[in-house]
């Protein structure tokens, strides 16, 4: 399970390069199943979730080879449509292969992902969309779901919520359907746009990615592609918030400031200086102590405040004197880290959707548990503020999405070890 030991109280200073985005590369790897042609993906992070997606593609018959920060994917041999149950359990994002498998083989079978640390996360929107495209969905008592369609047909699909995963899965299915598909109330996240650009490079015709309405004209065959994955905006936010919590100055290369709406405004309101240059570099210079403030954040679908940086932002607010309000509006149960912060002396009241944070009280070291990837990152940030040794157990979940977080923070002057 692993453990991070953070000896806090040190300033972060220096430069860090932000890696390719986990949430972009996972659906793009799945989309590689749509072609017989060679696919090369560049700037692929070395994280556990990429390793699991590699195993999923391999189990379906693809050959995936890593060379440095690139992946070469050859899907010519793909002839299996069943995602092994263990891999599905290990990573919910395995669900992304359903759309491409439907397009490629006319069928896909999974065991539905169960509840997770941040709520139930059903896939009903994915399945309803596949049905709209003409697929038949059948479910068995053991949680198995089979989706079958010898030939998908373009359709109008209205998502009741702009789900990132459903938008991506349906886009990947629709590129091989007959005729035009419109996805309304689509997710607008930069990762959706990156997937659309990858599919377009393969020869797909997609309009409107990054807006609430995406139009996809189906085609019979897709070619291979060579694509560089966009920078991981949540990793960028995590380093910026770590700098803010430690009172340091951190320069982030390969960081697209525009992909993080809400973050910079809040940091500036706290007195941090944010400098953005034309070459995807963002520098964050933060004071040692913050003035009293009352900060409110409301997470929401893009361009709202990203739910994936809510835990890390809460960690910073622990340092800001004042009463702060956090409303989690994307997931129904994503404030579990409040209880772990309390173990470090934080005063927070929270239910499943709302947290009130009483910031500016001193924290003390302790032992806490990373419940999920971003909650774990939030705990690391909180620990950076605390003189003494804080132990974060279950740190393996942090490594699902951050490559060598302990080493990279340490190079910036933190003292973080992974045992
Ligand atoms: C993706 C990201 C995750 C991020 C989330 C929201 C990946 C691999 N993961 O997850 O890091 O936190 O977007 O930005 O890209 N929902 C349904 N039915 C569905 C699908 C979703 O009810 O069929 C609900 C979910 O339970 C949740 C909300 O919609 O409450 C948002 O989920 P969604 O946008 O689909 O998130 P993911 O794609 O799972």
pLDDT (tens digit per residue) in 224-257? 999 999 999 999 999 999 999 999 999 999 999 9
| pLDDT score at 303 | 98
Contact between residue 210 and residue 137 where contact means Cβ atoms under 8 Å apart? no
DSSP-derived secondary structure letter, 372: S
pLDDT score for 117: 65
Q: What are phi and psi of 229, to 5 degrees?
A: -70, 140
pLDDT at 278: 79
Residue with the smallest CA separation from ligand 1 atom 9 is 23
**Helices and strands of the chain, counted as H and E runs:** 14, 23
pLDDT of res. 56? 97
Residues in the chain where the model's pLDDT stays below 50: none
- Listing from the earlier edge strand, what are the strands of the sheet with 273-276? 13-17, 249-253, 281-285, 273-276
Q: Contact 260/237 with Cβ under 8 angstroms? A: yes
Domain residue ranges in the chain: 3-19+231-418, 22-228
User: Which residues lie closer than 8 Å to 137 by C-beta, 6 or more apart?
Assistant: 127, 130, 131, 145, 146, 147
Q: Would you say 414 and 12 are in contact if contact means Cβ atoms under 8 Å apart?
A: yes
Collapsed DSSP state (helix, strand, coil) of residue 175: coil
What was the pLDDT predicted at 118?
Answer: 63
**Same fold across 3-19+231-418 and 22-228:** yes
Cβ of 307 below 6 Å from ligand 1: yes
Pocket test for ligand 1, best of 121, 234, 299 (most atoms within 8 A of CB): 121
Handedness of CA 222, 224, 229, 230 (dihedral sign): negative
Q: Give yes or no for residue 121 CB within 6 A of ligand 1.
A: yes
Which pLDDT score, from 0 to 100, does residue 13 have? 97
Decide if domain 3-19+231-418 falls under CATH 3.65.10.10: yes
Q: Which residues contact 257 (CB under 8 A, 6 or more apart)?
A: 264, 274, 276, 282
How far, in Å, from the CA of 213 to the mean position of ligand 1? 18
Q: Which CATH class is domain 22-228?
A: alpha beta
Atom of ligand 1 nearest to the CA of 165: 38
How far does the centroid of ligand 1 lie from the alpha carbon of residue 417, in Å?
A: 31
Tell me, using a 6 A CB cutoff, whether residue 246 lines ligand 1. Answer: no
Contact 62 CB / ligand 1 (< 6 Å) = no
């Amino acid at each position: 399970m692993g453990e991070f030991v953070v000896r806090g109280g040190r300033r972060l200073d220096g430069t860090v390069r932000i890696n390719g985005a986990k949430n972009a590369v996972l659906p793009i790897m799945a989309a590689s199943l749509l072609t017989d042609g060679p696919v090369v993906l560049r700037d692929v992070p070395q994280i556990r979730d990429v390793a699991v997606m590699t195993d999923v593609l391999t189990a379906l018959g693809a050959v995936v080879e890593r060379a440095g920060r690139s992946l070469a994917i050859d899907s010519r041999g793909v002839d299996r449509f069943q995602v092994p149950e263990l891999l599905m359990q290990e990573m919910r994002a395995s669900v992304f292969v359903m759309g491409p498998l439907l397009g490629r083989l006319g069928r896909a079978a999974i065991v539905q992902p169960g509840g997770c640390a941040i709520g139930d996360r059903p896939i009903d929107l994915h399945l309803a969309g596949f049905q709209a495209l003409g697929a038949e969905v059948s479910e068995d008592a053991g949680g198995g779901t089979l989706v079958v369609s010898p030939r998908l047909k373009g359709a109008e699909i209205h998502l009741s919520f702009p789900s990132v995963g459903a938008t991506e899965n349906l886009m990947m299915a629709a590129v091989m359907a007959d005729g035009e598909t419109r996805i309304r109330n689509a997710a607008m996240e930069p990762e959706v746009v990156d997937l659309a650009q990858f599919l377009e490079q393969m020869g797909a015709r997609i309009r409107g990615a990054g807006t609430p309405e995406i139009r996809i004209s189906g085609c019979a065959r897709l070619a291979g592609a060579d694509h560089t994955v966009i920078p991981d905006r949540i990793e960028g936010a995590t380093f910026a918030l770590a700098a803010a919590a430690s009172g340091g100055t951190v320069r982030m290369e390969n960081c697209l400031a525009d992909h993080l709406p809400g973050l910079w405004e809040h940091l500036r309101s706290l007195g941090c200086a944010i400098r953005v240059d034309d070459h995807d570099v963002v520098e964050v210079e933060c004071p040692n102590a913050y003035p009293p403030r009352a900060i409110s954040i409301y997470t929401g679908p893009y361009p709202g405040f990203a739910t994936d940086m809510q835990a890390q932002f809460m960690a910073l607010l622990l340092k800001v004197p004042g009463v702060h309000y956090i409303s989690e509006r994307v997931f129904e149960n994503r404030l579990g880290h409040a209880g772990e912060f309390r173990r470090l002396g934080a005063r927070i009241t929270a239910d499943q959707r709302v947290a009130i944070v009483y910031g500016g009280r001193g924290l003390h070291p302790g032992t806490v548990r990373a419940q999920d990837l971003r909650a774990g990152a939030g705990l690391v940030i909180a620990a950076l503020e605390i003189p003494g040794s804080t132990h974060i157990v279950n740190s393996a979940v942090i490594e699902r999405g951050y490559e060598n977080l302990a080493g990279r923070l340490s190079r910036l002057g933190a003292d973080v070890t992974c045992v």
